[in-house]
Amino acid sequence: MVALSGEIKEVFGKVKVMPMATASKSGVPNVAPMASIQLVGDDTVWIMDNYMVKTLENLKENPVVALYFYDPDSKRCFQIKGSTEIKTSGPDYEKFRDQVRTKSHKYPAKSLIVITITDVFECTPGKEAGKKVL
């Protein structure tokens, strides 16, 4: 099981928009920006499906994801890979839906993508680049 360190969580918390990469079952890649995103505990990320199209189709047939987050102030960057579950009901979905809709009632909040983090890699340029950290 992966548990993000305080430093990784700090970098994550500074980033407002993250690229979310998925792939179809046959390997066609897709990347889309996501902002309704929240770190939950040490090993879970929630992302709200407001407007996902190819992303959601991909997750239904190939439930894995990659994200990266880069903080220009500290110049730190990490990549996360994880497995996903799609929730359209239940307490976690309702909690995040209400939170997202507090920001704007126009968000459809169709489903909650729960990412269980499986791997973390360094992506800060330099000699540690690409190294698996968790």
Ligand X SMILES: Cc1cc2nc3c(=O)[nH]c(=O)nc-3n(C[C@H](O)[C@H](O)[C@H](O)COP(=O)(O)O)c2cc1C
Judged by CB under 6 A, the stretch of 51-59, 69-77, 86-94, 120-128 that binds ligand X is 51-59
Nearer to ligand X, 81 or 133 (CB): 81
**Closest CB 13 distance from ligand X, rounded Å:** 16
Nearer to ligand X, 34 or 45 (CB): 34
**What single letter denotes the amino acid at residue 84?**
T
Is there binding between residue 111 and ligand X (CB under 6 A)? no
DSSP string, 96-108: HHHHHHHH-TT--
**Closest CB 1 distance from ligand X, rounded Å:** 26
Is there binding between residue 30 and ligand X (CB under 6 A)? yes
Is there binding between residue 36 and ligand X (CB under 6 A)? yes
Kind of pairing between the strands at 111-122 and 44-49: antiparallel
Q: Residues 6 or more apart from 129 whose CB is under 8 A from it?
A: 122, 123
Out of 34, 59, 66, 120, name the contact with ligand X by CB under 6 A: 34
E strands present in the chain:
18-23, 29-34, 37-40, 44-49, 64-71, 76-87, 111-122
Is there binding between residue 24 and ligand X (CB under 6 A)? no
Give 130's DSSP letter. T
List, edge to edge, every strand of the sheet that includes 29-34: 29-34, 18-23, 64-71, 76-87, 111-122, 44-49, 37-40
Is there binding between residue 67 and ligand X (CB under 6 A)? no
Is there binding between residue 48 and ligand X (CB under 6 A)? yes
Where along the sequence are the contacts to ligand X (CB under 6 A)? 17, 30, 32-36, 48-55
